């Protein structure tokens, strides 16, 4: 019997994590000592365990558990918040190799890009909170008015409660953990739902979060539409979603049932306006970096299309061609510096954009594809039709159309004819054009003479406007996104003016009217009976 039991534990190990296997082993032994548990019955138990699904009931129990943790006050303490932030830093440092391996499996993301854009930025975010958190948690003193004299007032930042973070696949580590960092720092309990489109990163996040962070308050739920739907059925205190507008609408609809506030980090067609009076080499290097060095165009703030003048377009295209070959060689499929397309569906989507009538013949550079390796070369197109699919939807890939205008200022009307983008870029040395661009174009963020780097500035809010999103985060803005700003006023029992209460005699009315108008002299005169 003992031999049978040992054989069973060996054969059944694939059903359980080591942690769960030991738990079941202890249960069986304690329940039956060294006696009778049939092999078949326990295999059945294992199969049932494997078939368990995360459904609405499971989600409800999870939220109930986390609400209990939050109600205990555990997550509100400065010490708990700091301990979790330090654990995230340690998690990043201890598992660099595992993280880069997961990103390579999901996206063939270059190791250095993985370190810079995912590991390093996550650590930097955590360290910023560790440095500033005590200051950000302090109540903010504010002035009061004469109508409440004597009094004092402050704004207290308090955690919202139990929050849900649904992250994206293109930067599956950073876009999962960066919002979670803000939620933890603000004192919330958190559920993270990583994207199933990056399965290796999702599985790693689930493993590491359980290992490094407090599972009574911070949980990861893996899965796809059924699991996400089960989570969205619950009442949350905030939902933070990163992804596309179609799913964003689903999230917002679900949130509306419970009046749950949302942050939606979406995307859009981020334009690049290129004037002719520029340092062309520097400008093109920065455009290429923002488009192709950032996950091969699979980034929400990647340049989506360029607008320049007809006269300047040939020089710009030639410069783009030279820099692309400098960065990735004449055969970009052999380069180790460029990511692949995430999956078959997105490869087919991008192929459809390229193969559309009146678009396929507009390719002036690149266009090569390798379906087996899910790679599409950096591709430049010139003057594609405005009504083409490639100009109607966010590209989210290595394709870059260039549109031409007679006068660079015509680009403003073209941009404004579309939904407000997540980012807008301008390259110029003309200060008047720069000023007009900033004042005329509405976008989530904006950079003059560079691309994408505003993402790294924690002093700037990162978020969209209109179709490109709702709300913002990064740095203090992340702390605020997951906090309620509670207004608090303090008064003593002295200074209780009778003029505040009925009956409102003519003298009282004169005094109150003067106070409400801010007329101090009139109030004094009313008090002494001179008016």
Residue 202 domain flag: yes
Whether 406 has a pLDDT exceeding 60, the answer reads yes
Residue where a domain terminates, one of 248, 267, 286:
267
Is the CB of residue 292 less than 8 Å from the CB of residue 496? Answer: no
Same domain, 328 and 428: yes
User: Rg of the Cα trace of the chain?
Assistant: 29
Residue 301 is part of a domain; what is its CATH number?
A: 3.40.309.10
State how many domains the chain has: 3
Both 456 and 343 in one domain: the answer is: yes
Is residue 222 annotated as a catalytic residue, yes or no?
Answer: no
Considering the domain boundaries, does residue 456 fall inside one? yes
Q: Which of 113, 227, 300, 394 is catalytic?
A: 300
If asked whether residues 394 and 332 sit together in one domain, one would say yes
Compute the average pLDDT of residues 339-367.
97
In a domain, 22, yes or no: no
Active-site residue 265, yes or no? Answer: yes
89 and 155 co-located in one domain: yes
Nearest Cα neighbor of 98 from 118, 84, 82, 83 is 118
Which range marks the domain in which residue 517 is found?
497-528
Mean pLDDT on 491-505: 87
Q: Which of 396-405, 459-468, 489-498 has the lowest mean pLDDT?
A: 489-498
Which residue of the set 227, 265, 394, 467 is catalytic? 265
Average pLDDT, the chain: 91
Kindly provide the b/e burial profile for residues 454-493, where b requires at least 16 CB atoms within 10 angstroms of the residue's own CB.
bbeebeebbbbbbbbbbbbbbbbbbbbbbbeeeeeeeeee
> Is 205 a domain residue?
yes
Q: For position 525, what pLDDT does the model report?
A: 84
pTM of the predicted model over 0.85: yes
Q: Is the pLDDT assigned to residue 403 strictly greater than 90?
A: yes
Q: Is the pLDDT of residue 39 over 80?
A: no
65-103: pLDDT as tens digits: 999 999 999 999 999 999 999 999 999 999 999 999 999
Section 198-210 average pLDDT: 98
Specify whether 313 is located in the same domain as 338.
yes
Percent share of the chain, pLDDT over 70: 90
Asked if residue 490 belongs to a domain, the reply is: no
Same domain, 223 and 370: no
**Quick one: pLDDT at residue 530?**
60
135 assigned to some structural domain:
yes
Q: Are residue 323 and residue 189 in the same domain, yes or no?
A: no
pLDDT of residue 25: 42
Residue 514 lies in a domain: yes
Cβ atoms of 425 and 305 closer than 8 Å: no
Same domain, 349 and 452: yes
d(CA 209, CA 189): 13
SS3 at position 190: strand
Instruction: Locate 414 and state its tokens.
Output: 């073209």
Q: What is the pLDDT of residue 33?
A: 38
In a domain, 472, yes or no: no
**Which of 209, 243, 267 is the last residue in one of the domains?**
267
pLDDT band at 511 (very low <50, low <70, confident <90, very high): confident
Residue where a domain stops, chosen among 267, 283, 309: 267
């Amino acid at each position: 019997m003992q031999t049978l039991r040992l054989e069973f534990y060996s054969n059944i190990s694939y059903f359980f994590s080591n942690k769960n296997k030991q738990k079941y082993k202890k249960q069986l032994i304690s329940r039956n000592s060294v006696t009778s548990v049939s092999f078949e019955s326990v295999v059945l138990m294992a199969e049932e365990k494997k078939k368990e699904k995360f459904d609405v009931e499971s989600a409800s129990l999870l939220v109930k558990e986390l609400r209990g943790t939050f109600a205990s006050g555990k997550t509100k303490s400065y010490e708990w918040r700091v301990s979790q932030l330090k654990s995230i830093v340690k998690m990043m440092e201890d598992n660099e190799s595992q993280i880069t391996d997961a990103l390579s499996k999901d996206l063939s993301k270059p190791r250095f890009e993985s370190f810079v854009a995912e590991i390093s930025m996550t650590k930097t975010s955590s360290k910023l909170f560790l440095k500033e958190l005590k200051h950000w948690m302090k109540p903010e003193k504010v002035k009061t008015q004469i109508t409440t004299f004597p009094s004092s007032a402050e704004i207290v930042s308090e955690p919202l409660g139990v929050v849900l973070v649904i992250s994206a696949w293109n930067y599956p580590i950073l876009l999962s953990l960066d919002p979670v960092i803000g939620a933890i720092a603000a004192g919330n309990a958190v559920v993270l739902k990583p994207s199933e489109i990056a399965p290796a990163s999702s599985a790693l996040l689930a493993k590491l979060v359980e290992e490094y962070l407090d599972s009574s308050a911070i949980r990861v739920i893996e899965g796809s539409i059924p699991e996400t739907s089960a989570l969205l059925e619950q009442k949350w205190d905030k939902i933070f979603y990163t992804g596309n507008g179609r799913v964003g609408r689903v999230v917002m609809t679900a949130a509306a049932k419970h009046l749950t506030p949302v942050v939606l980090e979406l995307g859009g067609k981020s334009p690049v306006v290129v004037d002719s009076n520029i340092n062309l080499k520097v400008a093109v290097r920065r455009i290429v970096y923002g488009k192709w060095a950032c996950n091969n165009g699979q980034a929400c703030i990647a340049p989506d299309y360029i607008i320049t003048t007809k006269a300047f377009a040939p020089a710009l295209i030639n410069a783009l061609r030279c820099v692309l070959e400098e960065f990735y060689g004449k055969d970009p499929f052999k380069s180790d510096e460029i990511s692949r397309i995430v999956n078959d569906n997105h490869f087919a989507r991008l192929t459809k954009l390229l193969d559309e009538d009146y678009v396929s013949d507009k390719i002036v550079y690149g266009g090569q594809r390798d379906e087996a390796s899910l790679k599409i070369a950096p591709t430049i197109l010139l003057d594609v039709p405005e009504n083409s699919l490639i100009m109607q939807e966010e590209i989210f890939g290595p394709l870059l159309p260039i549109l031409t205008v007679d006068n660079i200022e015509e680009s403003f009307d073209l941009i404004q004819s579309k939904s407000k983008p997540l980012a807008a870029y301008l390259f110029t040395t003309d200060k008047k054009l720069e000023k007009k661009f900033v004042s005329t174009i509405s976008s989530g963020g904006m950079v003059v003479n560079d691309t994408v780097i505003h993402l790294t500035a924690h002093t700037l809010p990162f978020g969209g406007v209109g179709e490109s999103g709702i709300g913002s985060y990064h740095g203090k803005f992340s702390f605020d996104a997951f906090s309620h700003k509670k207004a608090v006023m303090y008064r003593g029992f002295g200074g209780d003016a009778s003029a505040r209460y009925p009956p409102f005699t003519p003298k009282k009315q004169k005094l109150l009217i003067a106070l409400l108008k801010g007329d101090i002299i009139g109030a004094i005169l009313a008090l002494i009976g001179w008016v």
